[in-house]
Amino acid sequence: MNFKNVNKNFISLFIIGFIFIHAIGQVGIGTLTPNGILDVESSTQGVVLPVVALEDRYQESPVANPDGSGSLAIGTVVYNTNATSNGTVVGVSDDVALGIYVWDGTQWLSQFSKKQYVLYEQSVQNMRTRSNTPRSINGVNGQTFTPEFTGTYRIEVNVNFGGGITKNPTTTGPPADRSNGEMNIARMTGDFTITFNGTTKTITVGSYSLAYEKNNSGGASSPGNGIYFGIWKQYTVVFYEVLTAGVPTPISLTFTQDTAFAFDGEGDNGNSDGMGAAGFDGGDGHVGFDTPCTVEVSFIGE
């Protein structure tokens, strides 16, 4: 075999191919009819972008212009593998996350939607409350939220509260267990306290309970056998916090019931939590009876 001729033939083909590509101004990979200056077609393979570890949003490095003579060209595309916790610069995020970025001349712009949503939910349904005794909302209190991005997060707190059994509307029995007359309507109140990222919000709640005296077949009053109606109410508060990626944020949610003189045992019976029969006894309040208390945290933007 004449290797000299083979090399000459190869060089000739290369030059012809180069001239052809240069002449039509288009390159096709996987296609003979490119529809743009570069057309890549494949049903089984992808294009691998340059993989880099960006250090912050406003710094070009470690990416550099290959000719070494100036700044990056606008439109430079990379895949970033680094997640930073730099915080904000003049109120704007200086962080980057994993994904595709494009340089616009002053900063790296992410080419993906940044989404994060976490729901914390009360784990013990129908928690019973006692006058002037704080209670932690299980499943929410003591949790820690870690943001994936630097920016503004929306915090929505939903709480549910209902009053206990009012004093019996009768004229007999111990004063602590009765209310004179045939009907007793009373309002039980208290405060939920949410602390998130050092911000504390108080949600003042109140709910009415009603009891009326039940008569027996003879028409006489039947002390201790009244009819009780409870009304559970839902309250919502929304606020916003600027968080830094990767920095843990503790969550606290508690409830303190006010003294409830018009309720059985003055709202301090020490009733049991839960949805069993005992969970409906006594004058203690109800937290998350039919709808659990929740804290929702969602990222809304930089």
Q: How many distinct structural domains can be found in the chain?
A: 1
Measure the CA–CA gap between 179 and 81, rounded to whole angstroms: 69
Measure the CA–CA gap between 75 and 102, rounded to whole angstroms: 6
Would 290 be classed as within a structural domain? yes
- Tens digits of pLDDT across the chain (302 residues): 554 444 545 444 444 444 344 445 789 888 888 888 888 999 999 889 999 999 988 999 999 988 877 888 999 999 999 988 888 776 778 888 888 999 999 999 888 888 999 999 999 889 999 999 999 999 999 999 999 999 999 999 999 999 988 887 765 666 655 556 677 889 999 999 999 999 999 999 999 988 776 544 333 333 345 567 778 899 999 999 999 999 999 999 999 999 998 888 888 888 888 866 666 778 899 999 889 999 999 999 87
Tokens 């970033």 -> residue: 80
Would 207 be classed as within a structural domain? yes
Q: Any idea what the CATH number is for the domain that residue 277 is in?
A: 2.60.120
Would 36 be classed as within a structural domain? no
Look up residue 105 and give its two tokens.
């001349």
Q: Is 10 helix (H, G, I), strand (E, B) or coil?
A: helix
Beta strands in 225-280 (DSSP E): 227-230, 232-243, 249-257
Range of the domain at 202: 117-301
